[in-house]
Structures are given as structure tokens and as C-alpha cells.
Amino acid sequence: MSIESVNCCIKNPKGIHCRVATKIAEIVSAHDSVVQLKAENGQVDCSSILDILSLALLQDSQVVVTADGADARTVLKALKSLLARTDDP
């Protein structure tokens, strides 16, 4: 097992809304790592769309994404790319 983390800035003008939260959960469910999203107002498991939405992340919010598992780097790379998008997935 390997624990990795990456700092990200939310670039979508709408922040993390339902579509983005769903895509995050889909990416996480396709991997074996346990993924957490940490922001100023809390930390949540990225397998839960409602938990992700509960952070109410807006554009330019800074977050830390942590993955624990054999494919940690792969899942973090995919999530960092998603969070850097300025359009909806």
C-alpha cells in the first residue's frame, strides 16, 4: 500500500457541483485506493457524492486529495486533471 497526496485548486467556474462530484466518485470507484478530499471546512471520503457536495467547494478553493492504495498515483493523477478542468465533465 502507498499513501500519496496532491494539492489541487478547483478551476470549474461552478465549483464542485453534482456532475463533478459524480465524476469524482466514478473515478474513485474504478480504482482500488481509498481517497479522501480535504478542504478548509472538512474532510470527506471521495466515494460519496453527498459527502463531496457537503464541502460546498467553489471555484479557486484549495483542496488536498489523499489516496491510500496500490494505484494511489493513478487515481490522484485522474482527479487532479478533473479538478483542473474549467468545463463540466
pLDDT digits (tens, 9 = 90+) for 33-73: 999 999 999 999 999 999 999 999 999 999 999 999 999 99
Assign residue 57 the CATH number of its domain: 3.30.1340.10
Tell me the pLDDT band of 1, cut-offs 50, 70 and 90. low
- Asked whether residue 88 is domain-assigned, the answer is no
Q: Averaged over 12-30, what is the pLDDT?
A: 97
Count structural domains, the chain. Answer: 1
- Asked whether residue 46 is domain-assigned, the answer is yes
Q: State the DSSP string of 27-75.
A: HHHTSSSEEEEEETTEEEETT-HHHHHHT-PPTT-EEEEEEESTTHHHH
Mean pLDDT, the chain, as a whole number?
96
- Asked whether residue 89 is domain-assigned, the answer is no
Tell me the pLDDT band of 89, cut-offs 50, 70 and 90. confident
